[in-house]
Structure formats: structure tokens, C-alpha cells
């Protein structure tokens, strides 16, 4: 696996350069970090306000909803932290600056992932961790070894599934450079969705995010298992342990899409 360690190394090198670049403007960095934290926290404030009016949402308590919110946010927080501005690839394709990445002795995807790496993005992750911690303190979970094991597996698999959506969306931008908006619907839209209980959504919608874009495997299915809640659509309980497989499959598909994208890259004049 020299390839993987080499990729991690290059990622670290490029990310380090971006950190140093952003630290040139310290005040701006501090502000960006704060804004990132606050803006993402607003999502939770919305949920908080709902529960100030009602005691349950789709049959879920505040703490249970916070658990869903926390797990989705942590997974997505990891993805945005690591893959940063992969969704801005269209810009690099449009202005041709991707050229420079293609003549370096490192995988393009690694370079794109580390591109414009921003420590400020840790704001979302931190905020998710706080909410998740708070919900765990409030919840009365009947912990079993399987449930304990499932926690890190869920968070990491969820991050990988979001990552696959990110990369597939980015690959699509090789053909349609203005597709960043459509991609946001699946990423930022997706995480907002997963922060709520599946019971508040229409059945067809839940089918879509289970079988078409497998976002339900990010947190819904495993989290409901941890909470001991019934599954939507009458799905079998063991699907709670499917996220690693779903993540592997999604990443493989996204990888293929990425390769096809790079091969069709047309650069720009001059």
C-alpha cells in the first residue's frame, strides 16, 4: 500500500501549504473559522426551536433527533474537512488551472482533495461532535458491543459515502462545469435531510435516498439500530451493518466516474 501512504503524504504536503497560505491572513482565518462554526450551528438552532414548541418530531424526542443530527454532521464534517473544495472542481476545469495538477507525480484526485484545504472547515465537525456528545449524554441507549462497534463504523462509513457523492459529483463537472449547484443538493441537501428522523419524510423520498443515492446508510439505518427504533420501509435490521459495504461500493463507482472524467478533460486554450 505504498500508493496510499504516498497519497496521504502528498495530501499532507499540499494541505500544509494551504494552511500556511491562509495563516498569512490571520484575522480572516479566525473569522472564517467562527463563521463556519456559527453557520453550521444554525441548523441545530432550527431543530432546537422546533422542540421548544413540540416534544416530539415524527415520533422522535429531542435527544434522539440530536443523535441523528450529530451523526450526520460528524460524517459530513469529516468529508468536507478532508475533501474540502472538491466540489469547486468545475472552476479549475473551466479556467484550465487543473493542468498544473496533471503534470505532477501524484494522483490528481489527491491534489484536488487537498486543494484550498481549509482548517476553518473543522468548525462543522466540531459542532457535530458537540451535539453528538450532548445527545449521547441525554439518551438512555441500551449499549451492546455491536452498538458500540457500530458507532465509529457508522461515522467513518458515512463520511466515505458522502465522499463518494462528492467525488462522483466532481467527476461530473468535467463534462458540466456548472454542476456544482446540483451536487450541493446531494451533499449539503443530503446532510440536512439526515439530520431529521426518516419518519418526517414521504415514503418515496425515503426509498430514493435508500436505494438510489444511498444516503440512508450514512446514519439513518445504523443510528436507528443504536436507538432501537423501527426501520422505515420495513427494511431488515441487519442493514444497520451494511454501511461499510455500501461505502466501498459507492467509492468504487465514484472512482470509475472520476477516471472517466479525467480522461475526458479538455483543458482550455493556451
Partner 1 sequence: MTQDFTENFIDVEGVEKVFDVRRRAGLLRRERHQVRAVDSLTFSVPRGEMVGYIGPNGAGKSTTIKMLTGILTPSAGRLRVAGIEPSRERTRLARRIGVVFGQRTTLWWDLPLIDSYRLMHRMYRIPDARYRENLDRCVELLELGGLLETPVRQLSLGQRMRGDIAAALLHDPEVLYLDEPTIGLDIVSKAKVRGFLRDLNAERGTTVLLTTHDLTDIEQLCRRVMVIDHGRPMYDGELSGLHAFGDGERTLVVDLERELPPVQVESARVVKVEGPRQWLAFPAAQSAAPLVARIAAAYPLVDLSVREPDIEAVIARMYARAPSPERPGEAGAPVGR
129 close to 74: Cβ distance less than 8 angstroms? yes
- Stretch of 7-15, 117-125, 136-144, 204-212 contacting partner 1, by CB under 8 A: 7-15
CB burial string 210-245: b at 16+ within 10 A, e below: beebbbbbbbbbbbbbbbebebbeebeeebbbbbee
Asked if 30 touches partner 1 (CB under 8 A), the answer is no
The answer to the question of residue 96 lying near partner 1 (CB under 8 A) is yes
Which residue from 4, 49, 103, 202 is in contact with partner 1, where contact means CB under 8 A?
Answer: 103
Nearest CB to partner 1, comparing residues 125 and 170: 170
What is the contact mask toward partner 1 in residues 205 to 244, using x (rule: CB under 8 A)?
----------------------------------------
Instruction: Report the distance separating Cα 212 and Cα 131, nearest Å.
Output: 29
- For residues 14 and 180, which CB has a smaller minimum distance to partner 1 in the complex? 14
Note whether 89 binds partner 1 by CB under 8 A: no
20 binds partner 1 (CB under 8 A): yes
User: Which residue, 2 or 49, is less far from partner 1 as judged by CB?
Assistant: 2
Q: How many residues does the chain have?
A: 270
Question: In whole angstroms, how close is the CB of 220 to partner 1 at the nearest point?
Answer: 39
Q: How far is the CB of 99 from partner 1 (least distance, A)?
A: 5
* CA–CA dist 224, 231 (Å, integer): 7
178 touching partner 1, by CB under 8 A: no
Residues 257, 113 contacting (CB under 8 angstroms)? no
Q: Which stretch binds partner 1 (CB under 8 A): 49-57, 91-99, 154-162, 243-251?
A: 91-99
Q: Which is nearer to partner 1, 144 or 268 (CB)?
A: 268
Among 48, 61, 91, 107, binds partner 1 (CB under 8 A): 107
Closest contact distance (angstroms) between CB of 169 and partner 1 is 21
Rule CB under 8 A: say whether 134 interacts with partner 1: no
* Element at 49 (helix H, strand E): helix 26-53
# residues contacting partner 1 (CB under 8 A): 24
Interface with partner 1 (CB under 8 A), residue from 8, 13, 30, 233: 13
- 99, 143, 144, 259: which one contacts partner 1 (CB under 8 A)? 99
CB count, 10 Å around CB of 202? 8
Enumerate the β-bridge partners of residue 60.
57
DSSP string, 143-195: --HHHHHHHHHHHHHHHHHHHHHHHHHHHHTTT-TTTHHHHHHHHHHHHHHHT
Backbone angles phi, psi at 57, to 5 degrees: -130, 110
Least separation in angstroms between CB 16 and partner 1: 8
- CA 203, CA 200: separation in Å to the nearest integer? 9
Which residue, 75, 121, 66, 115, is CA-closest to 91? 115
Distance of alpha carbon 76 from alpha carbon 99, whole angstroms: 29
| Positions in the binding site for partner 1 (CB under 8 A) | 10, 13-14, 17, 20-21, 24-25, 96-97, 99-100, 102-107, 263, 265-267, 269-270
Amino acid at each position: 500500500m505504498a500508493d496510499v501512504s504516498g497519497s496521504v503524504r502528498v495530501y499532507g504536503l499540499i494541505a500544509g501549504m494551504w494552511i500556511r497560505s491562509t495563516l498569512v491572513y490571520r484575522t480572516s482565518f479566525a473569522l472564517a473559522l467562527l463563521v463556519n462554526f456559527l453557520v453550521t450551528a444554525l441548523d441545530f438552532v432550527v431543530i432546537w426551536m422546533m422542540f421548544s414548541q413540540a416534544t416530539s418530531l415524527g415520533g422522535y424526542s429531542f435527544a434522539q433527533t440530536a443523535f441523528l443530527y450529530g451523526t450526520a454532521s460528524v460524517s459530513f464534517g469529516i468529508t468536507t474537512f478532508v475533501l474540502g473544495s472538491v466540489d469547486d472542481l468545475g472552476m479549475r476545469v473551466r479556467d484550465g488551472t487543473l493542468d498544473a495538477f496533471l503534470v505532477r507525480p501524484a494522483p490528481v484526485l489527491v491534489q484536488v482533495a487537498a486543494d484550498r484545504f481549509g482548517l476553518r472547515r473543522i468548525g462543522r465537525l466540531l459542532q457535530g461532535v458537540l451535539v453528538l456528545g450532548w445527545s449521547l449524554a441525554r439518551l438512555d441507549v441500551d449499549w451492546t458491543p455491536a452498538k458500540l462497534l457500530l458507532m465509529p463504523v457508522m461515522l467513518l462509513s458515512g463520511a466515505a459515502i458522502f465522499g463518494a457523492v462528492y467525488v462522483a459529483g466532481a467527476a461530473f463537472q468535467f463534462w458540466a462545469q456548472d454542476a456544482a449547484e446540483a451536487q450541493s443538493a446531494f451533499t449539503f441537501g443530503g446532510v440536512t435531510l439526515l439530520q431529521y428522523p426518516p419518519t418526517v419524510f414521504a415514503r418515496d423520498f425515503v426509498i430514493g435516498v435508500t436505494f438510489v443515492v444511498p444516503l440512508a446508510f450514512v446514519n439513518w439505518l445504523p443510528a436507528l439500530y443504536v436507538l432501537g427504533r423501527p426501520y422505515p420501509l420495513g427494511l431488515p435490521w441487519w442493514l444497520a451493518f451494511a454501511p461499510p459495504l455500501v461505502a466501498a461500493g459507492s467509492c468504487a463507482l465514484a472512482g470509475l466516474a472520476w477516471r472517466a472524467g479525467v480522461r475526458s478533460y479538455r483543458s482550455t486554450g493556451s
